Every structure is written in C-alpha cells, then in structure tokens.
Structure 1
Amino acid sequence: MRLAVISDVHGNRLALDAVLADIALQGVDGIVCLGDHVSGPLDPAGAADRLMTLDGPVIRGNHDRWVIATDRQADRVDQFAAAQLSAGQKSWLADLPATAVVGGEVFLCHGTPHSDETAWLDNFWHDRVTTLPSEASVAAHADGIDYPVLLCGHTHMARSVRLRDGRLIFNPGSVGLQLVHGSPDARYGLLERRQGRWLSRINVVPYDTEAAAAQARANGFASWVKAITTGWAGPEGMF
C-alpha cells in the first residue's frame, strides 16, 4: 500500500494544486487528508472544491469545526472562510468525521486521537521555537490506538516518530501554510508499506507563492504574506 498524506491546506488552493499534481506522479493507491482544509484568506471555496473530489478518507480539523460553528465567536480568518463557502461546502465540512482508519492499519486524526486542538509531535510555538515533547507524553496520546501507523497534522511541522513498540506516528506538515521552516514550499507525506514495514517520507513542492500572497493581500490579510512567501514567520497575529 502506498498513500499520499496531506494536511492543513488552510484555503491555499494554489499550493494544493501543486501538491496534487506532484502526487499524480507518485503512483499512490490513495490520498488521505487530515483536516484544516479551508481556514485561510486565500481561496477557501477553491480548496474545498478540490478536496471534495478526493475519494480517500478526509477528516476534519479544529478550524473546520470553527468555520461552521454557531456556538462560538469565530476569528477573522474563519469568518472570512465561512463567507466564501457555499451551503454545500459547509454541509460537506459538517459531515466530516473526526478520525478514520484506512486498510485496518492506518489511523487518521488531526491533533491527537482524542482532540483536534492538542499538538502531538511538537509543542506549540514560543516565539519561533517549537520542540518535540517528552517520549512519555507522545506515547501517552497513542495509548490504546492499536494500529501500526498513526497520522496527525495540526502543528504544520513535518515529523516522523517511531515508538518503541514499532508504531509509526507521522505528521506530513502543511500544504498551505509554512511556519518557521525557512522555506515557503508546500509539504505533504508519502506513506508506504514495504516488506511488512511502514516507511514515511516528506515531499516538498514549490508553487507560486507570490500569487498566493497576492490573494491574501487582496482579501485584507497582509499578516499572512511573510509566512506564505518566506516560510520564516511564526503564527503570531495571523488568526
């Protein structure tokens, strides 16, 4: 089995198109998507249109919940995304599951198996610094999730961790919003079972970041431009 793993598109349809074009060259058996699909000041509806055509499992992230929530005050980015989406696209978001399993071996979640708001393989940023949590903390979130591969997103930081019992936890990074990577290129993951063992790989794909930044500016979100065009910025002030 060979899967492409995408996450955290954040409404960046231009980055998503570049990633999907690259995936088409990889000979994968399917594409899985780990959430936070539309919350970004670029092209939320265009990103939703692309993702709604995928035939692999697509789960929701915390921002997918927040975009359509009626019981909380949405931030300005989620408000923008909600205003761009059609009723059908909002219905699609509402119907997405929190988790999924592929082939009886690959478990999908956005943050951790029990929370789409909790970071798993990276602590949240302090200024521009993020670190791997303790081994005990990482393993605790995997307790009782008895699949060989556990996929997560949310932090935008690509990382692959192998637990002592052999289980693989894999975050493919973000398609649409690079933070403190030092590169603006889109990221996605390849996951492959070879000779009974699961292997992971991060793929880095350039795209037209200037065009994406122009969308953010035109929509009134200049605070997104540095992250989109350089990949050096942290998340402060973006949401």
Structure 2
Amino acid sequence: MKLALISDIHGNSVALEAVLADIETRNVDQIIVLGDLCYRGPEPKQALDLIRALNAKVIKGNADEWVIRGVNQGEVPDKALELMKMEQAWIRQKLSDADVQYLEQLPSELSLTYGNMSIHAFHATPHSLFDIVLPEQTNEELLMKLTANRDADLYIYGHIHRAYMRVVNGKTIINSGSVGLPFDGLNQASYAIVEINDQSFITSHIRVPYDIEQVCKQYEANNYPNKEMMQQIIRTGSN
C-alpha cells in the first residue's frame, strides 16, 4: 500500500496540479489530504475542484474553518485581522454554497488501518485545528501534543508548512509540508509518501517545482487583496 500525503494547498492550483502529476508517476494507492484547501490562494475554486475530483480521504484545516465562519479575534495577530477578513470575504465570493458545505462537513481527524499499520491523521493536533507543533520541539512535547490522544504507529499532520519526520518512543511522526505555501525556504511544492509493506514501511518527502511566476500573475490578475505579501511568500518559500 502506497499513500500520498498532501496538505496546505491554500488555493494554489498550479502547485497542486504539479503535485498530482508527480503522484501519478508513483503508483500511489491512496491520497490523504490534511486540510487547508482554499484560503490565501489566487484560485480557491480551482484548487477545491481538483481535490473534490480525487478519490481521496480529506480532513479539515484551520483555514477551511476560516472560509466557513470567518477569522476570529485572537486566532491571528491583531494587526493582521482586518486584512485576513478581507481575504476570507474575497475567497467566499469565489466559492459556491455547495463548496462551503463540503468544507463544513469534513472530519477533523482520521483513524486508518492498512494491514498491520495504524495511522492517526489530523491537521494541527488531535485537539485543535490551530495549535502549532514545530519539528524542533522536544520529544516530550511531540508525544504530549500529537500522540497522547490515540495509539497509532504513524501520526501525520500538516499546518506548519515545514516537512519533517521523527521517531519518538517507537512512534513515527511525519509532517508532509505544504503544497501551496512552503515555509522552509525551498519554493517548491512539498508532499510525503508512505509505503507500507508486510512488516515494514518507508517514508519519504518529495519536492516538486512548479511555475511560481504564473501563480504570482494570478494574484495580480484576480486582484487578490493581499497580493504583495502572498507573492513574496510564493517566491521565497518562507513567511
């Protein structure tokens, strides 16, 4: 069984198309989408349509929750709140009621079993769509925040836009990074592969180049309300 883990597309359909094309070459059996499908990208509708057309397992991220009900005070820095509300309103105008209903009904976590391998999948943590768990945190912090809620062999999440894998006390933790907005300084789409065999499994991270300037032009052409900042993130691969 070969799984592709994709997350944090953020309305970047050009990057998503490049990742899906790469996945096609790798004989993947199942795609798992770890949330944040539309918000902050120049083509939210196109990205969502691509995800909905897949035979994939999809969970909700914090940005999907923002699309549904708006951005609340305390969830982002105060100085960014009004701008992010403008972005949310712009994105809602691009989506249909059915699109928003689709986001609303997404689960916040998945428990999956493939052969002898059990997987717990979520966007940020099992308890929250918003908490931030970084790769440099201590073993104790990772175990408490990511693994204490449910016993599994593999824990997979997104949200932080930084790809990594660590094994802590026999538990494998993997973050797939971000398809649409990587924050690790490499401006290429990121996703992960997990290949499960009878008594073993292999994890790997894949980086996929895509047409960055095309996406930057889309922000311009579509008159995105925060286009300069988003173009900078796209070009540099960092926030």
TM range (shorter): 0.7 to 0.9
Q: Report the equivalent of 1:95.
A: 105
Higher normalized helix content (fraction of residues):
2
Higher normalized strand content (fraction of residues):
2
Asked if 1:154 corresponds to 2:164, the answer is no
Q: CA deviation at 1:107?
A: 1.3
For residues 149-178 of structure 1, the C-alpha deviation after alignment (integer angstroms, 9 at most, x for no partner) is 1110000000101111x1111101000012
**Deviant stretches of 4+, over 6 Å:** none
For residues 1-42 of structure 1, the C-alpha deviation after alignment (integer angstroms, 9 at most, x for no partner) is 210000000000000000000000011111000000000231
Q: Report the equivalent of 2:85.
A: 75
RMSD: 1.6
Asked if 1:210 corresponds to 2:213, the answer is yes
Q: Which amino acid aligns with 2:172?
A: L
Unaligned runs of 5+ in 2: 74-83
CA distance in 2, matches of 1:21, 1:182: 23
Aligned residues: 222
Aligned counterpart for 2:121 among listed residues 108, 116, 119: 108
Q: Which amino acid aligns with 1:151?
A: I
CA distance in 2, matches of 1:206, 1:41: 17
Q: Report the equivalent of 1:192.
A: 195
Unaligned runs of 5+ in 1: 123-130, 235-239
* Identical-pair percentage: 33
Q: CA deviation at 1:71?
A: 8.4
Q: Which amino acid aligns with 1:159?
A: Y
Q: CA deviation at 1:72?
A: 4.0
Q: Report the equivalent of 2:33.
A: 33
CA distance in 2, matches of 1:134, 1:37: 29
CA distance in 2, matches of 1:117, 1:71: 12
Q: Report the equivalent of 2:80.
A: none
Q: CA deviation at 1:230?
A: 2.5
Conserved 8 A contact 2:70-2:85 = no
